[in-house]
Structure 1
Amino acid sequence: MSKPIILCVDDEKVVLKSLKAQLKSAFGNAYLYEIAESPADALELIDEFTEDAISIILIVSDWLMPGMKGDEFLIRVHQKFPKIVKIMLTGQADELAVNRAFNEANLHRCLQKPWSESELIETIKTALSL
């Protein structure tokens, strides 16, 4: 059986590289770490993993991305996969979008960019222990 996946979604490659490195450093080989540069790519990946019976347990998503905002993306994910834990990273989300994600996507937490690595890791540890 495959390891569960933590999926990071952001339109900035440097952010994705940083997230992946921090997650690997904190959690080692406990999970697989996947990245997507857009919500559309992420939705495709989620469908592929689901078809292969590989579970995505957590998504860390940016809010401001071309094509689809993070709140809309996380709401879509939540409608199909309510058990996936969702964390949003943002430097620019408006309060309405964040509240919408909490209410309609069961958002676990919203972290501000630039995030603190320790806060991110602690948030994920807390989320996965629920």
Structure 2
Amino acid sequence: MSSAAILCVDDEIVILESLKEQLKRNFRDRYIYEVAESAEEAWEVIEELQEDDIKILIIVSDWLMPGIKGDEFLIQVHHKFPKVVTVMLTGQADEAAIVRAKQKANLYACLYKPWTEQELYLTIDSALE
């Protein structure tokens, strides 16, 4: 079993299922694929992964979510885990949020909905190099 994980955060379960399916199809069993429907749930997943000594490599987060925007969540993640690669997935993030995430969360990339499986694969693959 892998000791490295990719975490996807989005408030739409259909998006999460699609991301997870595409990641599994492209990276097979190289990683553990976790999903969370909110930033709050993501923190719980992060805590569980840490308890199991599983390293989080990448977090792909939606921007528009209830409770907290994706850029704010990724900034919090970056402060606590500076080595985790952050990717924002959005259909409607404003440019200011993307700039803020680049400056404060070391945002690696921003994918726009609807993304292609090729875009997702290339982004994640290059981030892991």
Q: TM class, shorter-chain normalised?
A: over 0.9
Shift in CA distance, 120/2, structure 1 to aligned 2, threshold 3 Å: closer
Shift in CA distance, 87/101, structure 1 to aligned 2, threshold 3 Å: same
Q: Which residue does 1:106 correspond to in 2?
A: 106
Distance 1:77 1:50 in 2: 13
Q: Which residue does 2:71 correspond to in 1?
A: 71
Moved over 4 A (4+): none
How much does 1:73 deviate?
A: 0.4
Amino acid at match of 1:108: Y
How much does 1:116 deviate?
A: 1.2
Amino acid at match of 2:35: I
Could you tell me which runs of 5 or more consecutive residues in structure 2 were left unpaired when the two chains were aligned: none
| TM-score, length-scaled by structure 2 | 0.97
How much does 1:85 deviate?
A: 0.6
| TM-score, length-scaled by structure 1 | 0.96
Q: Which residue does 1:96 correspond to in 2?
A: 96
SS across alignment from 1:30: coil
How much does 1:48 deviate?
A: 2.1
SS across alignment from 1:66: coil
Q: Which residue does 1:82 correspond to in 2?
A: 82
Q: Which residue does 1:46 correspond to in 2?
A: 46
How much does 1:124 deviate?
A: 0.5
1:124 and 2:121 aligned: no
- What is the CA deviation profile of residues 1-41 of structure 1, one whole-angstrom value per residue up to 9, with x for unaligned ones? 74200000000000000000000000000001000000110
How much does 1:54 deviate?
A: 1.2
Fraction of identical pairs, as percent: 63
SS across alignment from 2:87: strand
- What is the CA deviation profile of residues 50-80 of structure 1, one whole-angstrom value per residue up to 9, with x for unaligned ones? 2332111011110000001000000000000
Cα RMSD (Å) of the superposition?
1.0
Could you tell me which runs of 5 or more consecutive residues in structure 1 were left unpaired when the two chains were aligned: none
